[in-house]
Structure 1
Amino acid sequence: MDPITHGMVGLAIATISGEPILGAVSLGTTLGAMAPDLDIVMQSKGHYAYLKNHRGMSHSLPFLAGIAGIISTVIHFIFPATAFGQILLWTFMGTLSHTLLDILNSYGAQIFWPLSKKRFSGSLLLVYDPMVIILSLYLIFSKEPKTLLSMKVGLIFVIYLFIRIIMKNRIYDKIIDKFGKDIHIMRVNLLPSMIGMHKWHFIIDSQEKSIVGEINIFNNKLKILKELEKKEIPFMDEITNSAIGKFFQSFTPIYHIDIQKKNGYYYVTFTDLRYFIKDDFLHHATAILSGELELLEGLFHPYSLNQSVSVI
């Protein structure tokens, strides 16, 4: 989610504490809720460095605890009348809210780094989710008793997530019914649309091809965006175990591999199937191998095929 939404959620959490809306606790929760996105500093080293590290270490439990401690120390110096432990507790809740919300959308986060580099993702919320914003504003501005209000908002949010889960299950069944008779489906991934609560993107992984599309839950219209045929790749292990192959697998769990042979060289294209914008996928990578399968070059294409960053 975007920093503004995270900051708004942090401020909403502060209202539950019973402390003044403008004070040490609210400052801590707001800054804490925005702090994990400090990994944006990696952008100074380029798109590759940023995307490789985004939602990694900075979204892990050790980092959340550490940054909460730093923020709380500074705030306690400014507001010495507020107990340090109180500031620390609520600031950590702010930092934790950031990672938990990011886990609920399709990009996910490495919450258990360094023990695990797995990126956990629930694929339920939009990047800019209107319900999260509405509930946060409700918490901030409502005059209702905060204990009752927080329980009400929490219940509404749980119901909202439950409805989103039901949506996913219904769409999954619809996709199986429509495509299951014609192709051998191995896996279906459902992701929230980037532009609307009423749309979901689906990625079908079958033996024959990958199908990427979207479905409108209001009218049940299903639209196929791309069909990518799978090719026989006899040296798949060499490709996936290469530097660029390992990077792309850590970058996205949902990808397609294509291969072409030109002038004695193999050109292998990796495509991240999660984000389809303006008639193309957002992220790609290219591996160039010699006829003897020696990796000559590995390129990452962030945001556009026109941008290339060397990985090896």
Structure 2
Amino acid sequence: MDTATHFAMGFGLAGLAHLDPIVASTPGLMEAVMLGTVIGSQAPDLDGLVRIRGSAAYIRNHRGISHSVPAIFLWTGAIFAFIQLFMPQANWLHLLGWIFFAVCLHVFVDLFNSYGTKGLYPFRDKWIAFNTIFIFDPLIFSAHLLGFMLWASGMHPGKVFLAIYLLIACYYYWRFQVQKRTTELVRQKIGRSGTYTIIPTLSWTHWTFVARTEQIWYVGEVNAGEVIVLDTFKIKSENEIIAAAKESFRVKSFLAFTHHVHVETKERPFGYEVKWIDLRYRSRYQGKSHYMFVAVVYLDYELNILDSFVGWIHRGEEQLNKKLDPDKQLN
């Protein structure tokens, strides 16, 4: 989820903690729990600081180890120790439990969008993405805002947020069912066996999809039940040019993150351009469609890597050409 929703959930859990009689009746403990749940709801995303090491490091690490099973316990312990240092609590087990709950909830909800996490690492060293909830969901965020208003009006925060989280749980179930029906619609439209990935958007009635059959990638969208195929790509076999480009550390980071990838090769004056595109992220800029998340490698004719790039391109090929200028490589 987005940062704002994680913050809202941190305060929402603090409201829910009023159902814990020890927390509700112990002076100072509620304040400590609120601090713990708010920090815990954000802590796993501190891995975003790895961005200073470059986009490749960020792609490989964001929502990776920081969202793993061992990390849940490490974040919990670190936050608990920090709070105990400045706000020592005799009923420390209750504080520890609510911090743990907040960290777990952060990792759990991040599993449901298209980016996903390595939430089962080290038991499973793969990204898990359930593709059910968009990264920002207006209903979930609005439900929390409503809860805060009811809390401020004098209603019992524990009962308010218990009702809200039960509602959100039902909402998640409903989204799963809609996603399941949408997958069947796409499968029937394409009519071939393969792997079908249905991806949520901000709209409840609009989904995007990526389907891989034995020979073809299909990319499209579903609008109010109508399936539209937007692009098709023939799956290519790897050759020596692609194999050489895959030696780039940026490409390795890209391919470790996504498996919905189509690769293209193009001869250029300086040698070859090899581009991988993540088919999940199709967009339009100035009337032209393009794929925003890419990895690109420039090679000379001897297959030596000249330069590479991995990251998000929001303004099409023009922006990408500014990232990798072949004239600079020839100088």
Unaligned segments of structure 1, at least 5 residues: none
Letter in 1 for 2:232: E
Counterpart position of 2:7:
7
Counterpart position of 1:100:
108
Counterpart position of 2:308:
299
Give the Cα separation in 2 of the matches to 1:185 and 1:263. Answer: 40
Counterpart position of 1:268:
274
Letter in 1 for 2:33: V
Change (3 A) 1:284 1:31: same
Tell me the percent identity.
26
| CA offset digits 1:35-85 (Å, max 9, x no partner) | 111112112222222222110121122222222222222222332345332
Give the Cα separation in 1 of the matches to 2:244 and 2:230. Answer: 27
RMSD after superposition: 3.0
Q: Say whether the 8 Å CA contact 2:55–2:311 is kept in structure 1.
A: yes
Secondary structure class of the residue paired with 1:284: strand
Q: 2:223 aligns with which of 198, 211, 216?
A: 216
Give the Cα separation in 1 of the matches to 2:32 and 2:270. Answer: 65
| CA offset digits 1:200-219 (Å, max 9, x no partner) | 111122344322222223xx
Q: Return the TM-score normalized by structure 2.
A: 0.79
Q: Say whether the 8 Å CA contact 1:34–1:98 is kept in structure 2.
A: yes
Give the Cα separation in 2 of the matches to 1:156 and 1:65. Answer: 28
Unaligned segments of structure 2, at least 5 residues: 314-319, 325-331
Letter in 1 for 2:218: I
Q: Say whether the 8 Å CA contact 2:265–2:272 is kept in structure 1.
A: yes
Secondary structure class of the residue paired with 1:124: coil
Counterpart position of 2:134:
126
Q: 1:35 aligns with which of 39, 43, 50?
A: 43
Whether 1:55 and 2:66 are equivalent positions in the alignment is no
Q: Say whether the 8 Å CA contact 2:189–2:227 is kept in structure 1.
A: no
Aligned residues: 302
Q: 2:98 aligns with which of 79, 90, 98?
A: 90
Q: Say whether the 8 Å CA contact 2:248–2:297 is kept in structure 1.
A: no
Change (3 A) 1:264 1:48: closer
Change (3 A) 1:176 1:6: same
Counterpart position of 2:167:
156
Q: Which of 55-64 and 145-154 deviates more?
A: 145-154
Q: Say whether the 8 Å CA contact 1:248–1:285 is kept in structure 2.
A: yes
Give the Cα separation in 2 of the matches to 1:242 and 1:75. Answer: 45
Counterpart position of 1:198:
205
Secondary structure class of the residue paired with 1:51: helix
Q: Say whether the 8 Å CA contact 2:68–2:119 is kept in structure 1.
A: yes
Give the Cα separation in 2 of the matches to 1:11 and 1:82. Answer: 22
